[in-house]
Structure 1
C-alpha cells in the first residue's frame, strides 16, 4: 500500500464525501441484516399458527386464527420490503458519495499528472515514448480510480456486513456460525486466483488488440506503398496471423470465465448444505429452532457476494498499486530545466553569446557540440549552415534552453541563460522548428497559437509575411479551414509557412528558424526572407539552413562540421576563404544547374 499512500491527500481533500459514504455503508448493511431476523420470526410464526390452526379444528375460532396468521405474515412481508427500500436508498447515497469522490480524484490526478508533463524537460520526452505517457494518464489513472471508488466501497461494505452478520450468527449459535462460514475463505482465495488469471489474460488480450489496431492503422496509412509493391496478399496473411493470436487469447479467457461461475455456485451451495445439515442436528438437540436455520441461510447468502468481492477487490488493489507506482515514477521526476528561485524577467534585447559550449545528449552519449563559441549582437541576422548531423538544431534547442549545455556558458543580453525566467524568456522568442507540427484545428488558431489575443488583421498580416495568405484564401473556408491531424490537409510547404506565420504573429524580439525553408521553392523563400527583413529590422534573427542561397545575405555566418565551428564570417569572406562554405556553395550551384538542365 506504500505506493497508494500518495492518494491519501486526495482522500483527505474529499473527506466530507468519504465519511458520509462510510456512514451510509453501515446503515445500508444494518437494513440488510435485520430482515434475516424477521424471516426467522415469520418462520416460527408459521410453525406455531399451523399447530394452533389444527388445534382449533372444528371450532369457529379456527377462521380467526387463520385471519390473524395471514395478517401477521402480510405485516412481516411489508416490513421486509420496507427495509429493502430503505437499504436501496442508502446504497444509492453510498454510491453517490464514494463513487463520485473517486471521479473527482480521477479528475484531479489526471490534471496533476498532465500539468507535471508540461513542466518536464525535453530529455524526458526523448527517454519515454508517447504511448507509455498516454497510458499512465489514462489507463493507469483509471485503475487507481477503481481502487478509490469500487475498491473502498466494496472493502468497507464487506467488512461492515461481515462483522454484523458474524455477530448475529454467533449470538444465536457459535458452532453453527463456524460451520457456515467454513467454505467462505476457500471461496475468497479461489476467486482471488481466478481473478488474477482473468486479469492477466485480459491484459494480454488488450495488448494483442492494441497491436492489431496499430497494424491496421499503419497499413491504412501506408496503403499507397502496399499497392505500389503489390503486397496486399502478404498484408492480408499478416492480419490473419495477428487476428488468430487475438482469437486464441480470447478463447483462453473464455475458458477461465466459464470455470469461474460454476465454481462459485458450488462453494456457495456447499455452505448452504452445511448450514442445513449442522442446523438440523442442532434443532434435534434443542439448541436452536427451525427458524434459525432459515435465518442462517439468509446470512450465508448475504455473505456470499461480499466474500466474492473480496477476491476481486484484492486483485483490483494490486493492479491499482502497480499503476500508482508507475504514476509516482513520473510525478517524482524532477524537471532538469527550471527557472531559478530569483529568476530575472528583464526585457529581451536579442544579444546571444555562446562561450565554449559543448553538449552531449543524455542516454545516447552522442556529443552534438564541441567548444562552440559565437556572438550575435541585438538586431543582427546570424546564419548557421552545415551538413546533416553537424549540430545545427542543437544550437537552436540550447538557445531556447530546451536543454542545458554540458559545459561552457550561454549568455542572453549578458545574463546567463540559466538565470532567466523560462516562460518570460520564451514568450519573447519566435521559434520555427525543423519538424513542423500543426494542431488539428483551424489555420487561424494554429497561427495564433502562441498569441491567443492576436486580431484577425495580425493573423492575416503574418500569413502574408509567410507567403501563405493566397494559399489559405484558396481554401473553401479560408482561415477557418481545419488542418486535420498534424496538418495532413496541407502540403509540406504550406505547413512550413503556417508555422512561420505562427512565429511572426508573436512579433518576437528573437526569431529562430531551424531549417524551416527546405520545403519551399526559391522564389517563395526569397519572398519570405524579404518580409522577414522588414519585420525583424532591429531585432535578432538566427536562421539555420542547409541551402547557401537562404543565408548569403546574413550579417554573420557560422559553418558547423561535426559539432565544431570550422568557419565564420560574411558570405564574401567565406567565399574568398575557399573552405567548407565555398565547397558547399559550389556543389549546391552544380546541383541546381543539373536540375535545370533536366527540366
Structure 2
C-alpha cells in the first residue's frame, strides 16, 4: 500500500471528522451487538417457563422488556450507522475534490513538452476514473474496514467468554479464509493495474475519434473506426473478465466457510447442550446470530481487498504524473514589469521529442515598441522563436534577454501576462463568442469586446449569428470557419492589451483584402507595443520596422522591406513570386 501513502496528508487534514466517524461506527456496532445476547435471554426465559421455573406473567414481562431493548438497540444502531455514512463518506468526497484539484493544478504546472509525450485521453482518465477508484478506498473501504475490525474485536471475545469450545470450532474457517484472501489479492492487484491502464487506452481512442469526427466523416471511414473500437472494447472486456473471474471466487468461498461455521455451531453446540456443557439452547441461537453477523464483515474483507488493490493501482498511475517535474521553472517570486525589448544572443534549440534542431545560433534585437516580421519556409524555426519568447521552452544554448534581463531572471507569470499570443491553430473554448474574446481580459466591457472584434474584422460576421455575441461555439470552435476562428483569437489578444504581441501566421485563413484591413488595424492597436508577426506572406511583413528571414533554423536576412527587396535573396524571390500570383 506504499502508493496510497500519498493520501495520508488528506487523512491528516480531515482527522477530526474521521475520528468522529470512527467513534460513531464503534457506537453503532455496540448497539448492534445487543441483539444476540437478548435473543439468548429471550429463549432462556421461554425454556425457564416451560420447565416451570418462572410464572407466565414474569415470562411475558421479561420477553416484552427484552423485545423493547432489541428494537431500541436496532433503531439506535440504524441511526448511528446513518451518521457514520454522513461523516466518513462525506470525507471521501472532500478528499476526491482535493485530489482532483491537486492533479489538475499539477497538470497546469507541467511544461508543454509533457503534453507532447502524453495523450489527452490518458490524462483525463487519471483525473476521473483513477480518482474515483481512490475515493472508494478513502470512503467505503475505510468505513467498512472499521465496521469489520469493530465486529471482530467485539464478537470474538464475547463468543470465547460465553462458550470457549464452541467458539474455537466456529472460528476454524477464518484462518483458512485469510490465507485464500492473501493469495487471491495478489492476482487482483496485477489484473486491476492492467484494467486501469487499458481504460486509458480506450479513453484516448474515443477522445481522438470525437475530436477528429469531421475527418472521419470526410473520409467515410466510420465502419473502420467502429471495428477498431469493437476490437478495443473486446480486449478491454477480456481484461475486465479476467479480473472479474478472480473477484468471483471471494463471495462463494466466504459463504461456504460461513456455512461450515454455522454447521459447527449447530452440531457442536447441540452435542454440548445434550451433555449439559451448555446451559441453554439460547446460547446456540446466540452463536448462530454472531456467525451471521460476521458473515458480512468476513465477506467484505474480499471486497475491501479488491477496492484497496484497485485504489493502489490507480494511485500508482496518479503518482507517476504527480512525480513529473516541469522543465520550465519560475525562479523569481516577485513581479517583474515588462516593457518589450527582446534580444536573442546565439540561441540554439533542439526539440527533445523529435531531435530536430529548430534554431541554430540565432542572434537579433527587437527594440521596445518595434514591429518585426519573421518569414521563412515551413520548419524554418519561426514558431519556435515565439515559443521561446513566451518561455514555453528553455534554450539549449545562448541567451534570451527581455528588457536587458535574462529571461530566466523574470517572473514567469509577469512575462506571460505581458504577452498576447495568437497561435496559427486558433483554439476556442466551448463557450460564447463574448467569453472567448474576454478570455484575454474578463473585466472588459461589452463595448470593448465589440471594438476589438471590429479591429479584427469579425464583428460583421458575429452579428449575423442568431445570438450574436452570445452564440455558444462547438468544441474548439468547430461551428466557425478557419478565418473566423483566427480573427476571434486576434480580438482576444487585442482585448488583453499586452506589452508584447505574438502573431503566429494568424492570417493564413483570410483573404488578402481582409488581411490588409486587419494589419492596418493591428498597426494602430499595437502602436508603441512590441509586435512580432510570423507569416508566409510578404504582404503581412512589408510594413514592419524590421524583417527577419529564416531558413532551416538559420537567420538568412535582416532588414526593412525596401532593403531586402533591393538585393537578391530569398525575400526578393518570395516577394516577386507572390506578386505574380496576385496579378494572375
TM-score (structure 2 length as normaliser): 0.92
Pairing 1:422-441 to 2, within 5 Å after superposition: 422-441=412-431
Tell me the alpha carbon deviations over residues 91-145 of structure 1, each in whole angstroms, 9 at most, x when there is no partner.
1111111111111111112112212222222122222222222222222222221
The answer as to whether partners of 1:188 and 1:307 remain within 8 angstroms in 2 is no
What secondary structure does 1:554 align onto?
A: coil
* Alignment of 1:168 onto 2:158: yes
How big is the shift at 1:268? 2.1
333-342 or 574-583: which moved more? 333-342
* Alignment of 1:313 onto 2:304: yes
* Alignment of 1:586 onto 2:576: yes
Question: What residue in structure 1 maps to residue 24 of structure 2?
Answer: 24
What secondary structure does 2:566 align onto?
A: helix
* Structure 2 alignment gaps of length 5 or more: none
Question: What residue in structure 2 maps to residue 56 of structure 1?
Answer: none
Question: What residue in structure 1 maps to residue 35 of structure 2?
Answer: 35
Call closer, same or farther: CA 1:222–1:41 in 2, change over 3 Å: same
Question: What residue in structure 1 maps to residue 355 of structure 2?
Answer: 365
Question: What residue in structure 1 maps to residue 78 of structure 2?
Answer: 88
The answer as to whether partners of 2:255 and 2:295 remain within 8 angstroms in 1 is no
What secondary structure does 1:52 align onto?
A: coil
The answer as to whether partners of 1:20 and 1:97 remain within 8 angstroms in 2 is yes
Question: What residue in structure 2 maps to residue 49 of structure 1?
Answer: 49
Q: What is the distance in 2 between the residues matched to 1:212 and 1:424? A: 37
How big is the shift at 1:374? 0.7
Tell me the alpha carbon deviations over residues 443-498 of structure 1, each in whole angstroms, 9 at most, x when there is no partner.
11111102011111111110011010100111111111111211111111000000
* Structure 1 alignment gaps of length 5 or more: 54-63
How big is the shift at 1:318? 2.3
* Alignment of 1:494 onto 2:484: yes
The answer as to whether partners of 2:424 and 2:504 remain within 8 angstroms in 1 is yes
Call closer, same or farther: CA 1:537–1:100 in 2, change over 3 Å: same
Question: What residue in structure 1 maps to residue 494 of structure 2?
Answer: 504
How big is the shift at 1:579? 1.4
How big is the shift at 1:298? 0.9
What secondary structure does 2:452 align onto?
A: helix
Q: What is the distance in 2 between the residues matched to 1:51 and 1:211? A: 75
Call closer, same or farther: CA 1:219–1:343 in 2, change over 3 Å: closer
Tell me the alpha carbon deviations over residues 259-297 of structure 1, each in whole angstroms, 9 at most, x when there is no partner.
665444322211111111122232233322322111111
Call closer, same or farther: CA 1:207–1:180 in 2, change over 3 Å: farther
Q: What is the distance in 1 between the residues matched to 2:434 and 2:20? A: 50
Query: Could you say what the CA RMSD is over the residues aligned between the two structures, in angstroms?
Result: 2.7
The answer as to whether partners of 1:191 and 1:312 remain within 8 angstroms in 2 is no
What secondary structure does 1:158 align onto?
A: helix
Pairing 1:506-521 to 2, within 5 Å after superposition: 506-521=496-511
Pairing 1:430-509 to 2, within 5 Å after superposition: 430-509=420-499
Q: What is the distance in 1 between the residues matched to 2:528 and 2:499? A: 9
The answer as to whether partners of 1:279 and 1:293 remain within 8 angstroms in 2 is yes
What secondary structure does 2:344 align onto?
A: strand
Pairing 1:210-229 to 2, within 5 Å after superposition: 210=203, 213=206, 217=210, 221-222=214-215, 224-227=217-220
The answer as to whether partners of 1:554 and 1:570 remain within 8 angstroms in 2 is yes
The answer as to whether partners of 1:398 and 1:405 remain within 8 angstroms in 2 is yes
Q: What is the distance in 1 between the residues matched to 2:548 and 2:241? A: 64
Q: What is the distance in 1 between the residues matched to 2:197 and 2:531? A: 52
Question: What residue in structure 1 maps to residue 550 of structure 2?
Answer: 560
For 1:351, which of 341, 350, 354 is the aligned residue? 341
Question: What residue in structure 1 maps to residue 96 of structure 2?
Answer: 106
Tell me the alpha carbon deviations over residues 544-595 of structure 1, each in whole angstroms, 9 at most, x when there is no partner.
01112211121111111111111221222222321122233333344445xx
How big is the shift at 1:77? 2.1
The answer as to whether partners of 2:374 and 2:534 remain within 8 angstroms in 1 is yes
How big is the shift at 1:16? 1.4
561-570 or 255-264: which moved more? 255-264
Pairing 1:318-397 to 2, within 5 Å after superposition: 318-341=309-332, 343=334, 345-346=336-337, 348-397=338-387
How big is the shift at 1:533? 1.0
Q: What is the distance in 1 between the residues matched to 2:29 and 2:199? A: 37
How big is the shift at 1:375? 0.6
Aligned length: 580
How big is the shift at 1:48? 1.7
Q: What is the distance in 1 between the residues matched to 2:559 and 2:317? A: 51
Tell me the alpha carbon deviations over residues 471-526 of structure 1, each in whole angstroms, 9 at most, x when there is no partner.
01111111111112111111110000000000001122211101111001100100
